[in-house]
Every structure is written in C-alpha cells, then in structure tokens.
Amino acid sequence: MSPTSTPTPTGRLPHLTSRLQGFGTTIFAEMTALAVRHDAVNLGQGFPDFDPPDAVREAAIRAIRDGHNQYAPGSGVPALREAVAEHQRRFWDLDFDPDAEVTVTAGATEAICATLQALCEVGDEVVLFEPYYDSYRASVAMAGAVERVVTLRPPDFAYDPADLEAAITPKTRAVVLNSPHNPTGKVFSRAELEHIAGLCVAHDVLAVTDEVYEHLVYDGAHVPLASLPGMRERTVTISSAGKTFSVTGWKVGWVCAAPALTAAVRTAKQFMTFTNGTPFQHAVAVALRSDDGYFSGLAADYARRRDRLTAGLRAVGFEVFPAGGSYFVCADVRPLGFGDGVEFCRALPKDVGVAAVPTSVFHVDPRRGRSVVRFAFCKTDAVLDEGIRRLGGLSA
Ligand SMILES: Cc1ncc(COP(=O)(O)O)c(C=O)c1O
C-alpha cells in the first residue's frame, strides 16, 4: 500500500501506532453519513440545534472587535480564569485560585487528554466507568496507561461497589468520573460519590472528573467530587462552556485543580494546543457571569425536552431508562422486537428517517449494552416531535 492510500475503515490501520489501533473505527461517521443520505432527524449527535444566548454571541463579536485576536496566555485569559473561579465558588462552594489552580483548555476533550498525559506513567492503571465518553479510552491509550473498566448497568446504571473495589489495584493512578453522565443521563448519587471518594483516599488515587453537564441536572443535584472530604487536593475537575451555553463549536474548557496538579496538567497542555480561541475565552468569561435565572432556565428547558422525548419514546414502545441529567436518554430496543442496537441504528435512518447511537460502542466489550441506544434531546421541540412522529413508524 502506498503512503497515500486510504486505509480500510475496519481492521488494522497501516501506519497507526499499536496504542491507537481500534480507535479509527467509530460508528459516528457512519451514522452521520446515513443520517445525511436519508435526510434523517438526527437524534444521534450531541450538539444543540439552537443558538447560544444573544448576550454570549455578542460578547464574542465584541471581543473580536476589541482586538482580542492573538494568542492568549497558555493558562487562559485572566478574565476567564477569574470567572471560572467565581463560578466554582458561586455554584459549588469550591475555592480555586485563578492563577495557580485554573487552566483554560481547548474544550473538555483537551483537558481530559492533557490530564491523563500529565499524570500517568506508562503502565499505570486508570479506572473508567462504561459506557464511557469515547475520548477517555483513547486518552488513556495515548498516555500508555491501562484501562480498568467498571460497568454501569440499566435500568438505573448503578455500578456494583465490589466491581469498583476490585478495579482498584496498587497500579491505579486515577479514577475518571463523568457525572451527569454521557451516554446514560445518570447523575451519580451522593452515596456513590462518597464510595468513590472513600476508595480514592484509602488507596491514594487521583480523581479526574468530567462535569461538562454540571448545569443539566433535573433529578437530584450536581455534587462535584472535589467537594467531598479528602478530595479537593486529589481531584482534577474538568468542565467546559459547550453544553452550558450551547456553544459546542467554541471548544473552551477548563481544569480546576490544586497547584501541583495544575502545574503538571499545564506542562502537558502547553505542547498540545498551547492556547486557543482567545475571543471565545473572553465571551465565556461573560457567559459564566450570567444571572441565576439563565442557569435555572436552562435546566428547566432541558427537563421539558427530556420529558417530551421520554414520553414520545415510551409511547412508541421503547423501554426508556430515566435520565436525571445531561441531554441524552437511553432506551432498550427489545420491546420493539429488535435485539442489536448497532443493527437497529444502521437501519433506522433508511427505515423511518431518524438517527440514534448504539451504546455498545461505548463499552470495551460491545456485548454489554447491546440492546441499548442513545437519543439526544438537545433539539428544538419541532425536531423532537418530528423524530417521535417518525419513530412511530416502528410500531405501526
Ligand atoms: C461527557 C463529555 N465530556 C466531554 C465532552 C466534550 O467536551 P468539549 O466539547 O468541551 O471538548 C463531551 C461532548 O459531548 C461529553 O459528552
């Protein structure tokens, strides 16, 4: 094969390092292509189909006009680091020093990758809950670390405490926690968080938390792991503006962590992007200072969308697992006579004109979560209603 040949979409990719073999074959590109080909209502992809608030858009335009168009400092523009620190204090009662403990990143994705590159020696173990957000596994692999997986099981996506205890070994460097959780919509309970925190403290393990859905909680409350006893000093808290302000294309995220952890993360991050999106950083600083009504309105709006999609899917005949947060809801396809979520999602755009995502792709072993599919409700009511109407064709 010549160096310019297009690699086959499945199997081993030539040229690709062994660490990353298997990561080139995600189903998302395929689902998106199918959705486009069949003009499907796309309930598969997790980005809002509506605009950010006017004030946030205007802040970005103003920042460009005001000349904030060159490199920002590697740690992020001071206004945003201060706004992040204020936000953590205002919502979660956590104090972070904007200079020594807050770092701006190219979305949560870079934050996760930089954190794992910074903290893991080759061969260290990292505990992930599955189904997982797909970048975690790739970031673990890029760091030369080894994943240890704990399975969340429907209907409530609880984990077996014994599984987590068994996953922690003398080689464990970190536990990665995502709450509210993509793809399941689970919000980890306080009891679960206390269990995780207790193990981290007892075994001197770090925690890396992905809190990008922190403001999309409908049942219960968001509790940052860093707020639990013994966790402030050992948790790397990650979030981003994408979901909270409907600006997933801006890719502005942040890391809050104790000074020594921050110094480590910054060391890796500076050689990944160094810095990004200067005008957007300024705009996110404005957005984070939005009044309380914005944040409560966002959660109320999303709760309504969640209820709309959940009721619609149930009416079609799916078994729907309640989502307490995030903008995803998972459903089992078996009551509709299907067995395999991948086959179901491959057929769905052509058969009824809707796209969804099988959750088996978020498992190490795809047999787990085989019959469960994910729908996104970060869509306008008209799109949700049309999706539900079309899905009605499954039970007709
Ligand atoms: C759990 C989770 N973490 C991180 C991200 C990516 O965040 P960002 O766009 O800020 O990189 C997503 C996006 O879907 C997500 O669902």
What is the residue type of 88? Answer: Q
Residue range 68-84, pLDDT digits in tens: 999 999 999 999 999 99
What mean pLDDT do residues 110-136 have? Answer: 97
Indicate which atom in ligand 1 lies nearest the CA of residue 248: 9
**Pick from 288, 323, 340: which residue ends a domain?**
288
For the Cβ of 132 lying below 6 angstroms from any atom of ligand 1, the answer is: no
The C-alpha atoms of residue 253 and residue 33 are separated, in whole angstroms, by 28
Same domain assignment for residues 183 and 320 = no
Same domain assignment for residues 236 and 304 = no
Q: Are 65 and 396 in contact (CB under 8 A)?
A: no
Same domain assignment for residues 257 and 323 = no
CB burial string 358-380: b at 16+ within 10 A, e below: bbbbbbeeeebbbbbbbbbbbbe
Domain count, the chain: 2
Same domain assignment for residues 148 and 261 = yes
Q: Which residue has the tokens 């219960």?
A: 220
More confident site: 144 or 1: 144
184: tokens are 């399941």
Q: Which residue has the tokens 């794992």?
A: 116
**Pick from 288, 313, 339: which residue ends a domain?**
288
Q: How far is CA 41 from CA 109, 264, 352, 380, 390, in A?
A: 26, 43, 9, 11, 9
Position 100 in a domain: yes
What mean pLDDT do residues 336-364 have? Answer: 95
Distance 396 CA to ligand 1 centre (A): 36
Residue range 235-256, pLDDT digits in tens: 999 999 999 999 999 999 999 9
Same domain assignment for residues 180 and 224 = yes
pLDDT value of residue 1? 32
Q: Angle, nearest 10°, between helix axes 54-65 and 278-288?
A: 140
Q: Is the pLDDT of residue 10 over 80?
A: no
Position 9 in a domain: no
Given CA atoms 54, 58, 59, 60 in this order, what sign does their dihedral have?
A: positive
Q: Could you tell which of 184, 212, 239 is best to mutate to test the pocket of ligand 1, judged by most ligand atoms within 8 Å of the CB? A: 212
Q: Is the pLDDT of residue 9 over 50?
A: no
For the Cβ of 178 lying below 6 angstroms from any atom of ligand 1, the answer is: yes
Position 92 in a domain: yes
The C-alpha atoms of residue 174 and residue 164 are separated, in whole angstroms, by 12
Same domain assignment for residues 206 and 240 = yes
Position 319 in a domain: yes
Position 334 in a domain: yes
Q: Are 238 and 110 in contact (CB under 8 A)?
A: no
Q: Could you tell which of 45, 84, 109 is best to mutate to test the pocket of ligand 1, judged by most ligand atoms within 8 Å of the CB? A: 109
Residue range 134-148, pLDDT digits in tens: 999 999 999 999 999
Same domain assignment for residues 180 and 322 = no
For the Cβ of 130 lying below 6 angstroms from any atom of ligand 1, the answer is: no
Same domain assignment for residues 33 and 89 = no
Are β-strands 125-130 and 172-178 bridged in parallel, bridged antiparallel, or unpaired? parallel
84: tokens are 């992040």
Same domain assignment for residues 36 and 61 = no
Are β-strands 102-105 and 253-256 bridged in parallel, bridged antiparallel, or unpaired? antiparallel
pLDDT value of residue 30? 83
Distance 336 CA to ligand 1 centre (A): 31
The C-alpha atoms of residue 87 and residue 252 are separated, in whole angstroms, by 15
DSSP letter, residue 211: -
The C-alpha atoms of residue 335 and residue 286 are separated, in whole angstroms, by 47
Q: For residue 170, what are the domain limits?
A: 55-288
Same domain assignment for residues 210 and 116 = yes
Strand partners, 41: 354
Distance 109 CA to ligand 1 centre (A): 6
Q: Is the pLDDT of residue 26 over 80?
A: no
Position 339 in a domain: yes
Q: Model's pTM, two decimal places?
A: 0.96
Name the phi and psi angles at 264, rounded to 5: -65, -45
119: tokens are 């903290």
Same domain assignment for residues 47 and 74 = no
Residue-by-residue DSSP string for 299-360 = HHHHHHHHHHHHHHHHHHT-EEEPP-BSSEEEEESGGGT---HHHHHHHHHHHTSEE-EEGG
Q: What is the mean pLDDT of the chain?
A: 95
Position 1 in a domain: no
CATH number at residue 346: 3.90.1150.10
The protein residue with its alpha carbon nearest to ligand 1, atom 14, reads: 46
For the Cβ of 46 lying below 6 angstroms from any atom of ligand 1, the answer is: yes
* CA 288 to centroid of chain Cα atoms: 19
Q: Is the pLDDT of residue 29 over 50?
A: yes
**Pick from 288, 320, 351: which residue ends a domain?**
288
Q: How far is CA 83 from CA 120, 146, 249, in A?
A: 29, 35, 20
The protein residue with its alpha carbon nearest to ligand 1, atom 16, reads: 182
32: tokens are 């998106």
For residue 137, which of 176, 79, 84 has the smallest C-alpha distance? 176
For residue 318, which of 327, 330, 328 has the smallest C-alpha distance? 330
For the Cβ of 240 lying below 6 angstroms from any atom of ligand 1, the answer is: yes
For residue 322, which of 210, 158, 192 has the smallest C-alpha distance? 158
Q: Are 136 and 128 in contact (CB under 8 A)?
A: yes
For 309, half-sphere exposure in the C-beta direction (CA atoms, 13 angstrom radius) is 29
Position 12 in a domain: no
Of 20-24, 93-97, 150-154, the range with the lowest mean pLDDT is 20-24
Distance 108 CA to ligand 1 centre (A): 6
Residue range 257-291, pLDDT digits in tens: 999 999 999 999 999 999 999 999 999 999 999 99
Same domain assignment for residues 32 and 93 = no
Q: Provide, rounded to the nearest whole percent, the portion of the chain with pLDDT above 90.
A: 92
Distance 97 CA to ligand 1 centre (A): 24
pLDDT value of residue 396? 65
Q: Is the pLDDT of residue 38 over 60?
A: yes
Question: Rounded to 10 degrees, what is the CA torsion of 261, 266, 268, 273?
Answer: 150
pLDDT value of residue 6? 37
CATH number at residue 138: 3.40.640.10
For the Cβ of 75 lying below 6 angstroms from any atom of ligand 1, the answer is: no
Indicate which atom in ligand 1 lies nearest the CA of residue 47: 14
Q: Is the pLDDT of residue 395 over 80?
A: no
Indicate which atom in ligand 1 lies nearest the CA of residue 110: 11
Distance 143 CA to ligand 1 centre (A): 19
Residue range 165-214, pLDDT digits in tens: 999 999 999 999 999 999 999 999 999 999 999 999 999 999 999 999 99
